[in-house]
Structures are given as structure tokens and as C-alpha cells.
């Protein structure tokens, strides 16, 4: 079996690693890289691509050849969004970063919001947090461009996470988050949800470990380029993974 491809070994030292999992994001990848690196001279970016058939990983690797702040991991075969995000955080820790900041690659998450998320994680004069969420469900946050069916599905997942899984967070399903990587020392990192339910699973573990989670408002804009990967199979997998967490929450197994 072909092995995973890493773009380079000589990473500059850094504190914040932005990461984005990609699968067939050819229409977005170049602009995403440009916008993330422009958001702050201090951040580096990791793309975790699951060997996208449309060549997303290859485009990113070409740019990485001339951009020292960009790193690319091309994994062999589609292994799921949750697994990609977890691998990104693990790589960030291994490389000595203190903060991992995850975002989608389709511009639903605005790279210009990255500095605000970092401030929310380490507020000047305030108590540091373990996770800062870019939230659509706190005052000032909103979602633009979704059909009503997406609003309903998202509301149900957030309601379930809050009231059945007991995680006191309003927007638990979004993927725009800054994470203090030392929190991984305090949570059980085995058997994470491999698909989209990683988002809720991660917060569930952080909360159970006593971690501090904050939410700041963002505007989430539905993707305008490329196509959704959140299909029926992914939704079904997520429901199974959420029910599994509910069973542990209530029955302990």
C-alpha cells in the first residue's frame, strides 16, 4: 500500500498551526491557503487531504514547495473528516505547536476571523480557555445561505449534544475552533468518532475532563464553490456515533 505523503520536514518553529481537512476542494484550495497565511504572519497552515480525486492535494503540495509556512499531508484513501482533524492536532503537538486551529476549506469559515478566535483562547487579562469555538448560535452569530432543512438538522444535533450529551455549548457541530493542544493530555484520545461527529465527540471529552470552552460569534456562509461531502452516508454515520456517546453518557458503556 502506498504510504502517506508529507510535504516537507523542515517546519519553522511556531505557536499556532491552522489546519484544514480537504476532500475535493480544488475550487477553494489556492484561495484558502492565500487567505489563511495572510490572516497573520505568525500562523502556519496544514492541509490534510484524503487523496482527493480532483487533485486538491497535488495543488497544495505544489504551493508548499515555495511556501515554508504551508504543510501538506496527503493520506491514502478517504478516512473521514474526524480522523483527519485528529491527525492534524496530533501532528501539531508532535511539531511543538501550542495551539491548533481547525477550519473547513470551503470558506464557510472566514479566515479573517482567525485572529479573533486566538484572542478568545487567550484573552488579554482574562482566563485562558482550552477551546474557543466560532459559533453561529451566540448573540451576533449567524448562518447565511442555508436551506431550512440544514437549519433543522443542525439545530437537532446541537440540541442533542447540549441536552442529551450534557455539553454546555450552543454550537457544537461547527468545525471552526482554536484548541489549546495541552488539553489532549487530559482527555481520553482513544476511539474518537471518525466522521463528522468528531466535532461533538471532542467537545464532550473536553467538557468531561473539566476543560474550559468559550464561544464567540461568527458569520457562517454556505459554500459557494465545490460540492458538499456531508451526504446521506455521512449523516447516518454521525447519528450512530452520537447515539454511542449518549449510551456512554447515560449507561456508562
Say which entry of ligand GTP, Mg ion, none residue 48 contacts (CB below 5 to 8 A, set by partner kind): ligand GTP
Helices 29-39 + 56-64 axis angle, to 10? 40
Q: How many other CB atoms are there within 10 angstroms of residue 177's CB atom?
A: 24
Residue ranges of the alpha helices (H) in 96-231?
Answer: 114-121, 148-163, 198-208
203 touches 126 (CB < 8 A): no
Q: What residues line the site for ligand GTP (CB under 6 A)?
A: 20-23, 25, 48-50, 78, 80-81, 84, 104-106, 108, 222-223, 228-230
Say which entry of Mg ion, ligand GTP, none residue 80 contacts (CB below 5 to 8 A, set by partner kind): ligand GTP
Burial class (CB within 10 angstroms; exposed 0-12, middle 13-18, buried 19+) of 185: exposed
For the bound state, the minimum distance from the C-beta of residue 43 to ligand GTP, rounded and expressed in Å, comes to 17
For the bound state, the minimum distance from the C-beta of residue 158 to ligand GTP, rounded and expressed in Å, comes to 13
Between residues 104 and 215, which has the closer beta carbon with respect to Mg ion?
Answer: 104
For the bound state, the minimum distance from the C-beta of residue 200 to Mg ion, rounded and expressed in Å, comes to 16
Q: What residues line the site for Mg ion (CB under 5 A)?
A: 104, 106, 108, 223
Cell of 205: 471529552
82 touches 192 (CB < 8 A): yes
Residue for grid cell 505568525: 42
Q: Which residue is nearest to ligand GTP (CB)?
A: 228
Helices 198-208 + 81-94 axis angle, to 10? 50
Say which entry of Mg ion, ligand GTP, none residue 171 contacts (CB below 5 to 8 A, set by partner kind): none
Of 225, 222, 229, give the one whose Cα is nearest residue 29. 225
Say which entry of Mg ion, ligand GTP, none residue 141 contacts (CB below 5 to 8 A, set by partner kind): none
Between residues 32 and 183, which has the closer beta carbon with respect to Mg ion?
Answer: 32
Between residues 21 and 37, which has the closer beta carbon with respect to ligand GTP?
Answer: 21
For the bound state, the minimum distance from the C-beta of residue 202 to ligand GTP, rounded and expressed in Å, comes to 14
Amino acid at each position: 500500500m502506498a504510504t502517506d505523503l508529507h510535504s516537507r520536514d523542515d517546519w519553522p518553529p511556531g505557536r499556532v498551526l491552522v489546519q484544514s481537512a480537504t476532500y475535493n476542494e480544488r475550487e477553494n484550495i489556492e484561495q484558502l491557503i492565500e487567505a489563511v497565511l495572510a490572516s497573520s504572519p505568525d500562523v502556519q497552515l496544514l492541509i490534510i487531504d484524503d487523496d482527493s480525486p480532483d487533485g486538491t492535494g497535488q495543488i497544495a503540495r505544489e504551493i508548499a514547495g515555495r511556501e515554508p509556512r504551508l504543510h501538506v499531508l496527503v493520506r491514502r484513501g478517504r478516512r473521514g473528516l474526524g480522523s483527519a482533524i485528529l491527525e492534524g492536532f496530533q501532528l501539531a503537538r508532535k511539531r511543538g505547536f501550542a495551539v491548533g486551529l481547525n477550519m473547513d476549506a470551503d470558506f464557510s469559515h472566514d479566515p479573517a476571523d482567525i485572529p479573533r478566535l486566538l484572542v478568545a483562547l487567550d484573552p488579554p487579562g482574562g482566563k485562558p480557555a482550552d477551546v474557543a469555538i466560532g459559533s453561529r448560535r451566540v448573540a451576533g452569530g449567524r448562518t447565511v445561505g442555508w436551506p431550512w432543512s440544514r437549519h433543522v438538522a443542525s439545530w437537532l444535533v446541537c440540541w442533542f449534544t447540549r441536552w442529551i450529551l450534557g455539553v454546555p455549548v450552543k454550537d457544537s457541530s461547527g468545525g471552526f475552533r482554536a484548541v489549546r493542544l495541552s488539553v489532549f493530555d487530559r482527555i481520553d484520545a482513544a476511539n474518537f468518532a471518525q466522521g463528522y461527529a468528531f466535532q461533538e465527540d471532542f467537545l464532550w471529552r473536553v467538557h468531561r475532563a473539566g476543560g474550559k470552552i468559550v464561544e464567540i460569534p461568527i458569520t457562517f456562509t454556505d459554500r459557494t464553490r465545490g460540492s458538499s461531502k456531508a451526504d446521506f452516508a455521512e449523516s447516518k454515520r454521525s447519528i450512530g456515533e452520537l447515539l454511542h456517546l449518549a449510551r456512554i453518557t447515560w449507561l456508562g458503556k
